[in-house]
Amino acid sequence: MSALTTEALTLSLGGRRVLEEVTLTLAPGRVTALLGPNGAGKSSLLACLAALRRPDSGAATLDGKDVATLPARERARRIGFLPQQADVHWDVDVRALVALGRLPWRGRGAADAADRAAVERALEATAMTALAGRPVEQLSGGERARALLARVLAGEPEWLLADEPLASLDPAHQLDVGARLRAVATAGAGVVLVVHDLNLAARLADSVVLLRAGRVVAAGDTAAVLTPEAIAATYGVAVEVGVTARGERYIVPVGRV
């Protein structure tokens, strides 16, 4: 497994600087959360890592190769991307939806046994096997989120990048999808998530990157980085950090700094 890095990544959108000299090394086998206030550049950074945006200068590299210049198919095989919008434009069934994740592997040919096996594994991993024949429009919000996650998992990418995969889910599904993302990292792939909820990040992520106004405020192991001081510097809020009886940290904002 390979490291995903950025080197002095700078990006402007519509004349506004959204990322400024971002240099990071992301390790595989871990869940990394990108945190920061609205407009900090989290989604833009994720888009650069997935080569969906081309930086003005600097680069995102996979195994030392610029992701923007990787052949489209190779890139698609190695980097899976789960967008924030849960768009499904046609009323396909769940299995057909999940099979879309195999497109980079099968190209124009028909799906072969390996493709079908990967689809079944992804359905299994997201507990969607029983719903595989159901039209997407008949799914609940949580089931739909799981089906879309299964779509990315079916590609079995080395890196899974997801833009707020937990944002629109109720607590039960947040725990559920979070556990599946964790399992992906445990299996060796790198998982990078844009997260808004500090508590979710604290519980789920091995490492966090704090962004503010396009710059990295702090990056590293979650416990070391998510301090009240760093959160204050990033979000401009004072927080209280506590520990539950089970030893899990929680973070409560108490006011502006």
- The identity of residue 13, as a single letter, is L
Alpha-carbon span 140 to 144, nearest angstrom: 6
CB of 100 to other proteins, least distance (A): 6
- The identity of residue 29, as a single letter, is G
Alpha-carbon span 48 to 10, nearest angstrom: 10
Alpha-carbon span 46 to 199, nearest angstrom: 21
CB of 99 to other proteins, least distance (A): 9
Beta partners for residue 104, in sequence order: none
Contacting residue, 103, 167, 233, 241, with other proteins by CB under 8 A: 103
Let me know: does 94 contact 128? Beta carbons within 8 Å. Answer: yes
CB of 165 to other proteins, least distance (A): 13
Alpha-carbon span 139 to 224, nearest angstrom: 40
Regarding 251 and contact with other proteins (CB under 8 A), the answer is no
CB of 107 to other proteins, least distance (A): 7
- Which window, 21-29, 96-104, 167-175, 195-203, contacts other proteins (CB under 8 A)? 96-104
Ranges within 64-83 binding other proteins (CB under 8 A): 72-73, 75-77, 79-83
Alpha-carbon span 92 to 162, nearest angstrom: 22
Regarding 93 and contact with other proteins (CB under 8 A), the answer is yes
- Which window, 1-9, 102-110, 115-123, 171-179, contacts other proteins (CB under 8 A)? 102-110
Site mask for other proteins (CB under 8 A), range 32-61, x = bound: ------------------x-x---------
CB of 52 to other proteins, least distance (A): 6
Ranges within 140-169 binding other proteins (CB under 8 A): 148, 151, 155
Interface residue list for other proteins (CB under 8 A): 50, 52, 72-73, 75-77, 79-83, 85, 87-93, 96-97, 100-101, 103-104, 106-108, 135, 148, 151, 155
